A and B are shown apart, each in its own frame.
Chain A
Amino acid sequence: MAQVEFQEVVKRYGSFEAVKSVSFTVEDGEFVALVGPSGCGKTTTLNLIAGLLDLTGGAIRVGGRQINDLDPKDRDIAMVFQNYALYPNKTVRQNLGFPLRMRKVPKRELEEKVNDAARLLDITHLLDRRPRELSGGQQQRVALGRALVRDPQVFLMDEPLSNLDAKLRVQMRAELKRFHQDLNATVIYVTHDQLEAMTMADKMAVMSGGVLQQYDTPERVFEEPANVFVAGFVGSPAMNLLPARVVENGGAVQAAGEGWELALSPRNAASARRASGDAVILGARHSSLILHEEAAPGCIAAKIYTVEPTGDLTYAHVEVGGKTFVISLDPQRRIRADQPVWIEFDQDRLHLFDAVTEQRLPPG
């Protein structure tokens, strides 16, 4: 296993820049999720490590060795594809053995390793079948087996769970995580599903428009999103964002919008003063907002748009200053559509972003 280092990696197609100067380091044994909406450059980044695409600029190092110009076969990496890419004309045994055969591993050792991998993944009984005779979950395991059979330096995974049904996905997610813990493998995992990234990864690399937006642990990415994009992308339901103007009124700092104003706590007031202008964006998670049915001081007046009970929690969609917020409620509470309500902000969990740069304004 090895460390993977990205240094100002650039990939251009003609004039289109798919990956824009991305730098980050995946430590030995870390599970890193590359996450972002489709077209954000995450799969391109993965293919650059694999050597399926050529870099336009920068460098990628695995275990200290620069691999930019190496063929995929010489990079000592393994990859699990979204559609599994099992060789349809080979049996499971041959599929698992193929990477070893290409590396001219002696026959005895090859058989041993294939059997070990099969045992680990509980697919021994499937060894003589062909991929098309397997279920999605079984194919997934074979694909994983083919990757781990030769003990590579890095595992690359390109949305490996997205072709599975919801129930199996949850199960495989846990298995993959366990597998990472047991093997202590370096894994780079591409997904568009932020929940998958949050639950499995040691670190998340959030990408958008070919730019690395934030690279940190899931907790930090969730608690301290680096900018408006990350705030809106990570977390489900997404963070509520509300544009506002900062108004200084005597000593008090207020955020104001169309028909509402909110006195900021000293912590948030200090953040707001750091903004490049007077325009900021307030961010609040659904769980940090409290819904009152009667007017209370320090609250913003709003109106219920619709109510979504999900069993564990009820989500109220609320119209505030031209935006719609999602607020989670105790399912016992009875709230109706079109009912006037008042929203209280938990100021310790309020996020502020500069409306111009869209960057996070750190608390004072």
Chain B
Amino acid sequence: MDKRRITRWHVFGWIFLVFLLIYAVTPLLWMLITSFKSQFAALQYPPDLYPKNPTTEQYVRLLSPQNDVGRQFLRYLLNSIMVSTVTTILGVAVAVPAAYAFSRFRFPGRKALFFSVLFRNMFPAVVFLMPLFIMMRWMGLVNTYSSLVITYLTFGLPLSIWLLKGFYDNIPVQLEQAARIDGCTRFQAFYLIVMPLSAPGIIATAIYSFITAWNEYVYALTFLNDDQKLTLPVGLQRFFTEYATNWPGLMAASFIMSVPVVAMFLILQKYFVRALTEGAVKA
């Protein structure tokens, strides 16, 4: 047994972390509890701490394609999945070779290009809202999924490349050299040796792209106006202002929306943490 002394600072640390946990978990918990209440019970004052007559009515309604509300919700869900997945796949497909090139090759303008990749992060995303909207209109992309995918890639790629470069920097170049001597082409050396070693980084990058795209609201609100094309964050908001305020419904929908993100993060969090620290040590 490890006999570490429990000091005052340990106790303070624990109390602080517990508060932080409460702060983070309470809204989620309240969301979940409310989603199981009836509409009447949700508006009751003082509120019940737990649903007296729990009902899954809202979930059934949202997830069944039999009714209008369900059809609409599933449509938004599908839109979100589509935009986020395409963003993720394209993001990884570009970030992996880009990060590899930044890490391994010396080419003219390498440094300048690398920092210009980060340059975008100096500005808040809203600053680009109008210019990008005008650009999208000019390209005829308003009200398309592509407008969102392109925008999300623009914002997501810099960090993805930065993250992955940290990974590749930590993989000794001798491994590829050994692979090439052992009979690999340059691409095989990358594909068979380097890629598997950078899997944690690729996974982290993918999660990051997916979550950013999944949660994004402002650009989706601005670029899309066709009701059939809305993504979940925008869809939800419109949805419930239209049908009066159905709190349990809104909470159920929000909960469904957060499931993929939370699940993905829980399963893959160890890779995510490794990716962030890996880059940090080298930088």
Q: Which A residues form the contact surface with B (CB < 8 A)?
A: 50-52, 71-73, 75, 77-79, 81-83, 85, 87-89, 98-99, 102-103, 146
Q: Are B174 and A99 in contact (CB under 8 A)?
A: no
Whether B263 sits at the interface, judged by CB under 8 Å, is no
Chain B nearest CB: distance from A292 CB in Å? 54
Q: List A contacts of B174 (CB < 8 A).
A: 81-83, 85
- Contact A87/B177 with A102-B182, A102-B184 known, Cβ cut-off 8 Å: no
- Contact A71/B180 with A83-B172, A89-B196 known, Cβ cut-off 8 Å: yes
Q: Are B197 and A102 in contact (CB under 8 A)?
A: no
B172 contacts which of A50, A72, A75, A85 (Cβ < 8 Å)? Answer: A85
Please, what's the 1-or-0 string for B176-197, where 1 marks a CB less than 8 Å from any CB in chain A? 0111111111001000010011
Q: List B contacts of A146 (CB < 8 A).
A: 178, 182
Chain B nearest CB: distance from A263 CB in Å? 56
Q: Are A72 and B197 in contact (CB under 8 A)?
A: no
B181 contacts which of A50, A83, A87, A89 (Cβ < 8 Å)? Answer: A50
Please, what's the 1-or-0 string for B153-181, where 1 marks a CB less than 8 Å from any CB in chain A? 00000000000000000001011011111
**In the bound complex, how far is the Cα of B175 from the Cα of A56, in angstroms?**
25
Chain B nearest CB: distance from A326 CB in Å? 37
Q: Are B175 and A79 in contact (CB under 8 A)?
A: no
Closest B residue, CB atoms, query A75: B181
Which 8 A-B pairs rank lowest in CB-CB distance, beginning with the nearest? A102-B183, A85-B174, A99-B182, A85-B178, A72-B180, A73-B183, A81-B174, A72-B181
Q: Are B178 and A79 in contact (CB under 8 A)?
A: yes
Q: Which of B186-211 contact A (CB under 8 A)?
A: 188, 193, 196-197
**In the bound complex, how far is the Cα of B188 from the Cα of A102, in angstroms?**
10
A98 contacts which of B182, B185, B196 (Cβ < 8 Å)? Answer: B182
Q: Are A78 and B181 in contact (CB under 8 A)?
A: yes
Q: List B contacts of A82 (CB < 8 A).
A: 174
Other 10 A-B pairs with CB < 8 A, given A79-B178, A85-B178: A51-B181, A72-B177, A73-B184, A73-B185, A87-B175, A88-B175, A98-B179, A98-B182, A102-B184, A146-B182
Chain A nearest CB: distance from B282 CB in Å? 17
Tally of chain B residues near chain A (CB < 8 A): 16
List 30 contacting pairs A-B, 8 Å CB cutoff, sorted by A.
Answer: A50-B177, A51-B180, A51-B181, A52-B181, A72-B177, A72-B180, A73-B180, A73-B181, A73-B182, A73-B183, A75-B181, A77-B181, A79-B177, A79-B178, A79-B181, A81-B174, A81-B177, A85-B172, A85-B175, A85-B177, A85-B178, A87-B178, A87-B193, A88-B197, A89-B197, A98-B182, A98-B183, A99-B182, A102-B188, A146-B178
B185 contacts which of A71, A79, A85, A103 (Cβ < 8 Å)? Answer: A71
Q: List A contacts of B182 (CB < 8 A).
A: 73, 78, 98-99, 102, 146
Chain A nearest CB: distance from B194 CB in Å? 10
Q: List B contacts of A81 (CB < 8 A).
A: 174, 177-178
Q: List B contacts of A88 (CB < 8 A).
A: 175, 197
Q: List B contacts of A87 (CB < 8 A).
A: 175, 178-179, 193
Closest B residue, CB atoms, query A82: B174
Q: List B contacts of A73 (CB < 8 A).
A: 180-185
**In the bound complex, how far is the Cα of B179 from the Cα of A72, in angstroms?**
9
Chain B nearest CB: distance from A236 CB in Å? 29
Chain B nearest CB: distance from A159 CB in Å? 12
Chain B nearest CB: distance from A54 CB in Å? 13
Closest A residue, CB atoms, query B197: A89
Chain B nearest CB: distance from A189 CB in Å? 16
A103 contacts which of B183, B193, B197 (Cβ < 8 Å)? Answer: B183
**In the bound complex, how far is the Cα of B184 from the Cα of A75, in angstroms?**
12
Chain B nearest CB: distance from A45 CB in Å? 15
**In the bound complex, how far is the Cα of B184 from the Cα of A103, in angstroms?**
9
Closest A residue, CB atoms, query B182: A99
Closest A residue, CB atoms, query B188: A102
**In the bound complex, how far is the Cα of B177 from the Cα of A102, in angstroms?**
14
Q: List B contacts of A71 (CB < 8 A).
A: 180, 185
Q: List B contacts of A50 (CB < 8 A).
A: 177, 181
**In the bound complex, how far is the Cα of B240 from the Cα of A349, in angstroms?**
100
Chain A nearest CB: distance from B101 CB in Å? 18
**In the bound complex, how far is the Cα of B179 from the Cα of A327, in angstroms?**
49
**In the bound complex, how far is the Cα of B193 from the Cα of A89, in angstroms?**
8
Chain A nearest CB: distance from B243 CB in Å? 52
**In the bound complex, how far is the Cα of B185 from the Cα of A345, in angstroms?**
59
**In the bound complex, how far is the Cα of B175 from the Cα of A71, in angstroms?**
16
**In the bound complex, how far is the Cα of B182 from the Cα of A52, in angstroms?**
12
Closest B residue, CB atoms, query A102: B183
Q: List A contacts of B183 (CB < 8 A).
A: 73, 98-99, 102-103
**In the bound complex, how far is the Cα of B180 from the Cα of A77, in angstroms?**
11
Chain A nearest CB: distance from B34 CB in Å? 46
**In the bound complex, how far is the Cα of B175 from the Cα of A79, in angstroms?**
11
Q: List A contacts of B179 (CB < 8 A).
A: 87, 98
Q: Which of B16-58 contact A (CB under 8 A)?
A: none
B180 contacts which of A52, A83, A89, A103 (Cβ < 8 Å)? Answer: A52
Q: List A contacts of B181 (CB < 8 A).
A: 50-52, 72-73, 75, 77-79
Q: List B contacts of A77 (CB < 8 A).
A: 181
Chain B nearest CB: distance from A343 CB in Å? 48
Chain B nearest CB: distance from A269 CB in Å? 53
**In the bound complex, how far is the Cα of B260 from the Cα of A307, in angstroms?**
75
Chain B nearest CB: distance from A113 CB in Å? 14
Q: List A contacts of B185 (CB < 8 A).
A: 71, 73
Q: List B contacts of A52 (CB < 8 A).
A: 177, 180-181
Q: List A contacts of B172 (CB < 8 A).
A: 83, 85
Chain A nearest CB: distance from B12 CB in Å? 38
**In the bound complex, how far is the Cα of B26 from the Cα of A230, in angstroms?**
75
